Amino acid sequence: MATPTMDKLAALEADNGSHLITVTFRIRRFNPEISEEATWEDFQLEIDPKERVLDGLHKIKWEMDGSLTFRRSCAHGICGSDAMRINGKNRLACKTLIKDINPSKPITIEAIKGLTVQKDLVVDMEPFFQAYRDVMPFLITKGNEPTRERLQSPEDRERFDDTTKCILCAACTSSCPVFWNDGQYFGPAAIVNAHRFIFDSRDEAGEQRLEILNDKDGVWRCRTTFNCTDACPRGIEVTKAIQEVKRALITRRF
């Protein structure tokens, strides 16, 4: 059954007698019912390095400390619930393998930044969704509804394909230094979702959305630090999308 790599791994396991390794999870805990201070807490666990950070968190919650609080739904990188700051980088806990993040050192896990921490790794996502709603992320058309579906050529679909992949996990927005400082900035996620409709040939409210993003807290606040592109677990070219919106605004004016 096995590939050479797997044979090697199997041999290694036979040597050690076990494939488990000991990992330290250093988690930033906050519980407003106990203290106003957030503190780091270490957990040591035996885990298969091919497992994910989320599996480690489950192990802690189910077997060691049930008070550990975090969000997750699908656990397979689709729902976008478990974005967190792992070793200082925003990632999805369910898409990060232990072996990929240097398990010989303690793995630090914090809540994403720039949003109110409610408990442990759970933040208030409302400001994030507020910005998302502000860009009107739904199809807007004029005139009568057609009797058939709205047709679109593959090229027209390709134009905004990248930005349809967003799962609203907030990894990009909460990695943006401008969002940390000036919370009125729409943030990369909202702009990505505006981009998805601005460049959709079937949509007719692109002008309105551009007008919203032309505001002083819109796309012009972007400093192109590329934190968002690095953070996106779906590999969306976020900064490129923001720049495309800027270009659309400029070419519209001149």
Partner 1 sequence: MSAETSSAAAIGEVEGVSLYDTDHPAPLIEAPRKRTKKTPKSTRTNFELYGWLFMRLSGIVLVVLVLGHLLIQLVLDGGVSKIGFAFVAGRWASPFWQIWDLTMLWLAMLHGANGLRTVINDYAQRDNTRFWLKMLLYTATVFTVLLGTLVIFTFDPNIR
Smallest distance, Å, CB 33 to partner 1?
5
Size of the site for partner 1 (CB under 8 A): 50
- Interaction between residue 124 and partner 1 (CB under 8 A): yes
Residue 128 CA to residue 248 CA, distance in Å, equals 24
State which residue, 2 or 250, has the beta carbon closest to partner 1: 250
Please tell me the number of Cα atoms within 13 Å of 72 on its side-chain side.
22
186: tokens are: 């729409």
State which of positions 157-216 bind partner 1 (CB under 8 A): 177-185, 211-212, 214-216
Instruction: Say which residues have a Cβ less than 8 Å from residue 197's Cβ, sequence separation at least 6.
Output: 135, 136, 137, 138, 139, 140, 160, 203, 205, 206, 209
Helix (H) or strand (E) holding 186: none
Q: Please pick, from the candidates 32, 74, 102, 207, the single residue that binds partner 1 as defined by CB under 8 A.
A: 32
Residue 184 CA to residue 114 CA, distance in Å, equals 11
* Cβ 21 vs Cβ 46: under 8 Å: yes
State which residue, 204 or 217, has the beta carbon closest to partner 1: 217
Of 14-22, 108-116, 145-153, 192-200, the window that binds partner 1 (rule: CB under 8 A) is 108-116
Smallest distance, Å, CB 18 to partner 1?
23
Smallest distance, Å, CB 113 to partner 1?
10
State which of positions 40-99 bind partner 1 (CB under 8 A): 40-43, 65, 67
| Percent helix, percent strand, percent coil in the chain, to nearest 5 | 40, 15, 45
Chain positions contacting partner 1, by CB under 8 A: 26, 29, 31-43, 65, 67, 114-118, 124, 127-128, 130-131, 177-185, 211-212, 214-218, 220-221, 223, 246, 249-250, 253
